[in-house]
Structures are given as C-alpha cells and as structure tokens.
Amino acid sequence: MPAALRWIWARFDELGVHALHDTLALRCQVFILEQGPYQDPDGADKQAWHLLGYDAGGALVASLRVVDPGVKYPEPSIGRVVTAPLARGNGMGHALVQEGLVRCHAAWPGQAVRISAQAHLQGFYGRLGFIAVSGQYLEDDIPHIEMLWSPP
C-alpha cells in the first residue's frame, strides 16, 4: 500500500515554477534518461491538467497529465504517467492513475478516458479498468497501444 500523497491538481498556468520544475525533472529522469531520448515537453502540456503527488518529505514521486478533450483524442487523455524510481513497486502507480480517473470523472462526468499506453503496461492499465482498442504501434520508438476507460 503506498504512503499517503499530497496531491496538486492544476492547469499548466497555475502550477507555479517550482511544481513545473519538479514534474519536468521527474519526467526527464524517467522518460529521457531511462527510456531514451525524445521531446517530452510538448504543446499538449499547456492544454492539460497536471496531477502531482508529493510524499511526506516534500518530494514529487508521482505525476501525470490529463489533456483536454479534442486536443489529442475526442475524450480526455491521461498521459505522461510517471513514478519516481524509488517509489515503484508499492502501488503508487495505481494510486496515481486512480486519482487521475477520479479527477477526470469530476471534470468531465460520464466521459470515457483514452490513453496511449506503452504496450508492456497493458496489464497494469487493464487492472485499472482500461481495455485495448487498437493494435500495437510505435510512438517514440516504443510499442504502444490505445486503451479506453469507460465510467461505471
């Protein structure tokens, strides 16, 4: 069971420079240094909600963004899901995505949520209620699959 996190849910313009730095640094650590080079910050960041999870010591350990409907997909889209390497293996990722789904449901009641998931994480997202809706494709040279979560 993950430790309790302090959540920040904010639009890009409301994040503040410290929270923005924290999330971009964590995304860089995982998406660029661990997974290989690609352009992480993109125009979608500015058209998204950002969910940041800070631990009791004030360190950012989990983050995702929710891109507005109509920007990438007709539905809201969760992406850039990341947990700090030291925070993995204790359910933190599930807690992060579940919190993201709660926020999506509050912002867009009744709407499905679409993701472009790394293919090897299909089981992880499947346990959270996402179903595969596409075959595999390459995104940033990593196999991905589109998945959809529908509200209960």
pLDDT at 3: 67
pLDDT at 70: 95
β-strands 77-83, 113-118: how paired? parallel
Tokens of 66: 């929710």
Distance CA 45, CA 53 (A): 17
pLDDT at 2: 63
Question: Does residue 39 sit in helix, strand or coil?
Answer: coil
pLDDT at 142: 87
pLDDT at 140: 80
pLDDT at 118: 93
Classify 6-149 by CATH class.
Answer: alpha beta
Distance CA 73, CA 55 (A): 32
pLDDT at 29: 80
Q: Please tell me the pTM assigned to this model.
A: 0.87
Q: What digits encode the pLDDT tens for the residues 104-124?
A: 999 999 999 999 999 999 999
Q: What digits encode the pLDDT tens for the residues 8-62?
A: 999 999 998 889 888 888 788 877 766 667 666 687 888 999 999 999 999 999 9
Contact status, residue 130 vs residue 95, Cβ threshold 8 Å: no
How many other C-beta atoms are found inside a 10 Å radius of the C-beta of residue 59?
Answer: 13
Q: What digits encode the pLDDT tens for the residues 138-151?
A: 988 889 999 999 99
Average pLDDT, the chain: 90
